[in-house]
Amino acid sequence: MIPPGLHFIHYSATNKYDDVVPRAGFMYNFKKSEFLVKKWNLETEDISNEVIPECEVERLKSNLLNLDPYLGVYPFDVFIKWKNLTEYITDELVARLVPLSGQIRSALELSACEKPEVSKRRSRPSTAEEKEDDLLPHLQAKPGTELRFTPFPSKDYPDGATPAEITKHMMDPTYSLETMLSTYNKYTLINYDL
């Protein structure tokens, strides 16, 4: 059984040769005595987003003792550490950070896309590194699969900063961090009431 609180449920599919695909998982905030049912999709070899009918959930609940040998073991040896790391994280923060797909993968799903426009000034590669980059495909994360981290400000220093102040802010990123944090209401994303 999984104790109440925020947990990362992860899994890896294997084939008949025991080759393992990159790990995938999802964050879930379990309530006391909650019973969560997910189905495995054999075609996609992944957990399905299908909604499980209540009658099937009740049937599984009533058969829980017989299911026990087939359930994964919860790592209670790390529970206290995990609880201390996650107890201040709210559901709103998790919803803002996880990929839109709802799944977190250890290997980012990438797709090839058009290379960005290169300025006329740099239209031809001059260094060996630039030439190599031109031979590689331009890859981007598939929409909805990337973690949605808070972006850093595009400028690391305030408007009107002198060259000395710019140098100071480039060496000490406190200004960038304070600018980023000022855009969020700390009480909605971090649970201080525990």
Closest CA to 38 of 81, 75, 2, 91: 2
Hey, which residues does 1 pair with through a beta bridge? none
Q: Which two tokens stand for residue 45?
A: 């070899």
Question: For the chain, what is the mean pLDDT?
Answer: 86
Task: Copy the structure tokens of residue 39.
Answer: 């189905």
Q: Which domains does the chain have, with CATH numbers?
A: 1-149 (2.60.34), 150-194 (no CATH)
Residue-wise pLDDT tens digits, 100-133 = 999 999 988 888 887 766 555 556 667 877 777 7
The DSSP H or E segment spanning 28 is strand 24-30
pLDDT tens digit string along 9-31? 999 888 888 888 889 999 999 99
**Does residue 6 contact residue 28 with C-beta atoms inside 8 Å?**
yes
Residue ranges in the chain modelled with pLDDT below 50: 194
Cα dihedral 118, 120, 124, 128 sign = negative
* Closest CA relative to residue 139, chosen from 161, 113, 119, 159: 113
